[in-house]
Chain A
Amino acid sequence: MWTYVARRLLQSVFVIVGVTVISFVALHMGGDPTYLFVSERATAEEIAETRAKLGFDRPLPEQYLSFAAGLVQGDLGNSLTYKTPALDVIALHFPATLELTIVAIILAIVISVPLGILAALKRGTAIDGGIMTLAMFGQSMPSFWLGIMMILFIGLGLGWLPISGHVPVLEPLLAGDFGKAFGNIPAAATYVLMPALTVAFFSISRNARLVRSSMLEVLGQDFIRPARAQGLAEREVVVGHALRNAWLPVVTMIGLEFGFMLSGVVVVETIFSWPGLGRLVFNAINQRDIPLVQAAVVVFAVTFVTLNLIVDLIYARLDPRIRLT
């Protein structure tokens, strides 16, 4: 297994170099961002001077190499807008996004798995039909629309949940302030609910359908029949055998889910004023804060690679037929 892990890590170096080169080229395709850092009335000399201050007067390959050299030492340069190390800026925004994604993934699992199992067990009935119809609708709705509607109806109209904003839990937790972290949980829960539901809605629908079809597949398979023949209660068959096997596609999905949800958070963080990474990176691209975008891309890639490695390892645990090579 360790050789497998080592090989995967080697591959991930390739991946990280790849994503940084691509984003570097993409960001420089439209020229450098100097114009955004000079006043409306700047002269040509002042523009040139600012360009030099920002370091964009050097040839592109040289700029990339100095970025890569920094990357090896864990220094990704300073954000152009915040004027502080790009990694620090990301670290300040990461916990909020992580909270949102974790809650969304949890929602996506705890809502979708029971629904999917229920639909599979009641296959062909009105319950199955109802759940699957809902799931179909959930997969057909743009998330920003759902978010705005929730703000208008649940937040403003009914006043049940806060409209927007964020109460931190992970950040004080990481800082070692447990009292504050736990004290914040009740308030944080009310703030996170609407955005997390918006992010998770698509996944809930998709996973419910996924669980249902993989349950159906497992229930019809050979190894379930002897279990039934042995006189095991239906409940034990479902929980002990079928569910364990039906998990597999869901676990795989969760691995992909992270990257997928990161895509969703850009929109959701904007609507709900959630101080996370998605909106930060979107703004950074808009303002052409190249060091910040580069750092974010590296962080995303590392997270993705690590998560997928973990998922693959768990997968191997769950399914003894899979060998890691």
Chain B
Amino acid sequence: MTATSEPMTAGQPQDAVPLDDWRRTLRRAWRSLVRARWPLVALLILAVVGLAAAIGPSVAPRDPNRQAIMARLKPPMAVDRQGKVDYVLGTDALGRDVLSRLIYGARISVVVGLAAVVIGGILGTVLGLVAGYFGGWIDDIIMRIADIQLAFPFILLAIMFLIVLGPGVWNLIIILGIGQWVTYARIARGQTIAQREKEYVDAAKALGARTSTILFQTILPNILAPLTVIASFNVASVILSEAALSFLGLGVPPTVPTWGGMLAESREQLLAGRWWLAIFPGVAIMATVLSFNILGDWLRDFLDPRLQTTG
């Protein structure tokens, strides 16, 4: 299970990036991406996964839930009596097409990963901003709630709520999202404390800006960089968490194809040598997670020039 991420290594933004410099930054980013090679590969892999998620239903050869129990556990490229290959990547224990489930699975896995991070990220960032900016008892309350959550091994919390709420894509996303907010809150809070005494914040105050404007329009853009880095690592860990929860029978219902669920279902088949049921979703998970990790690394190096390394 991967509930925590790595706040320690988050890059510190050197200075506030003026908004009109965005185009130049993007160009610099692209050059850096090309130079580092691997992040580019990662981006390509994610593009493929994203494409599968977006247009999956129109390219998948079959209905991912259509069963054919007389044609179950067919190995990849098995040739039927007419000499045709019906299932390129084989079938699972209910005779469902592995390739189609893999393609549909991209959608759920990616949606779960991204949505959980977005929920956790927004929740954590807002609470962290508020805690850091106002300080005092507001800060105290928010940080104690964060402590409560940290003292709860994430998986316990997830198991407890998923058993009660029942499996479902949204329940899973909410639980995984809630599991992430503390990381963002702590970083956002630290960054906000560092920023709130800066001159440009004072200037905004002096000009009579509203608190919400100061928080979200003045400070937020300047603390976004480390949060983005965390987020990219986080998508990776959320996808792994989904797989672990599926193993415990708490992922999405088996009628919804996900990579984690497919991998969890494959565990009884491994002993009997039915490798294809584990390898394909396994590779899909690893490639995606690896790509998010590589991108996260690159992003960190890119945003923190002190650490620029070979990539």
Contact = CB atoms under 8 A, between A and B. Distances in A.
A242 to B, nearest CB: 15
A257 to B, nearest CB: 9
Contacts of B163: 30, 285-286
Interface stretch (B13-21, B59-67, B151-159): B151-159
A27 B278 CA distance: 34
Interface residues of A, number: 61
A142 B285 contact: yes
A301 B293 CA distance: 30
Interface string A134-148: 001101111111001
Contact of A19 (B152, B161, B247, B271): B152
Judged by DSSP, the binding face of B is helix
A304 B151 contact: yes
Interface stretch (A55-63, A83-91, A210-218): A210-218
Interface in B264-296: 264, 267, 270-271, 278, 282, 285-286, 289-290, 293-294
A141 B240 CA distance: 7
A263 B156 CA distance: 7
A129 interface: yes
Interface residues of B, number: 49
- Chain A interface helix/strand/loop/mixed: helix
B119 interface: no
A15 B144 contact: yes
B3 interface: yes
Contact of B289 (A16, A23, A29, A139): A139
Interface stretch (B50-58, B75-83, B303-311): B303-311
A19 B4 contact: no
Contacts of B264: 144
B151 A15 contact: yes
A259 interface: yes
B138 to A, nearest CB: 15
B26 interface: no
A180 B211 CA distance: 66
Contacts of A12: 147
B293 A139 contact: yes
Contacts of A252: 8
B1 A267 contact: yes
Given A18-B147, A142-B244, 18 more contacts: A16-B151, A26-B161, A129-B310, A139-B290, A144-B264, A152-B270, A202-B2, A210-B8, A253-B8, A256-B4, A260-B4, A263-B3, A264-B1, A266-B155, A270-B248, A281-B156, A293-B160, A305-B147
Interface of B: 1-4, 6, 8-9, 144-145, 147-148, 150-157, 159-161, 163-164, 236, 240, 243-244, 247-248, 260, 263-264, 267, 270-271, 278, 282, 285-286, 289-290, 293-294, 297, 306-307, 309-310
11 contacts: A11-B144, A15-B151, A18-B145, A18-B147, A124-B310, A128-B310, A139-B293, A259-B151, A263-B2, A263-B154, A266-B159
Top-3 shortest CB links A-B: A263-B1, A18-B148, A140-B289
